[in-house]
Amino acid sequence: MGVTKDKVTIKIPRPLYDNLKEIIGGTGFNSVTDFIVYVLRDIASAHKCAEDEPLTQDEIRLIRERLKSLGYL
């Protein structure tokens, strides 16, 4: 794993890289790296959320409704 000032290089298998390159064709992702960073960030923040989230999905739904009813959403 190579390290620069604010980025690190992570190695992934070549066939997986090729496969991802094919998947992102025409999707708006500029590179496989951009796609991987996007997916990993999503997983990381969802994981953090699942661990720390003090609100249930049902509560979040009701909070959305309350905020909407007062014009905040």
Partner 1 sequence: MPLFKKTTNRDKKALIIGIDGVPYTLIQEYLGRGYLPNLKAIVGHGHAIHQMNASIPDISSVSWTTFATGVNPAEHGIYGFTALRPHTYSLTFPNSSDVKAPPLWNLLGKVGGGNTSTLAARYHKKVTKPYRSIILNIPHTYPAYPVNGILISGFVAIDLQKAIFPDSIYRYLKGIDYLIDVDAQKAHQDKEEFLRDLFSCFTTRQEAVKHFFREEPWDVFVACITETDRLHHFFFDAALEEGHTYHEAFVRFYRELDQFIGDLVTSFRKSYGEEAFLMILSDHGFTSIKSEIYVNKFLQEAGFLKLKEDGQFYEKIEEGTKTFAMDPGRIYINYRDSYPKGAIDRKEGDQIREEVKEILHSLRNPEGNPVIDRIYAREEIYRGPLLEQAPDLVCLPNDGYDLKGKLESESVFGNSVFTGMHTWHDALCISPPGVTWDGKPSIEDLADVIMQYFID
Residues in contact with partner 1 by CB under 8 A are: 28, 38, 41-42, 45, 49, 52, 54-55, 59-60, 62-67, 69-73
DSSP reduced 3-state for 22: helix
Q: Find the shortest distance in angstroms from Cβ 49 to partner 1.
A: 7
* Burial readout 59-69 (b: 16 or more C-beta within 10 A, e: otherwise): eeeeeeeeeee
Nearer to partner 1, 4 or 15 (CB): 4
Task: Give the integer Cα–Cα distance in Å for 15 and 32.
Answer: 13
CB-wise, 18 or 34, nearer to partner 1? 34
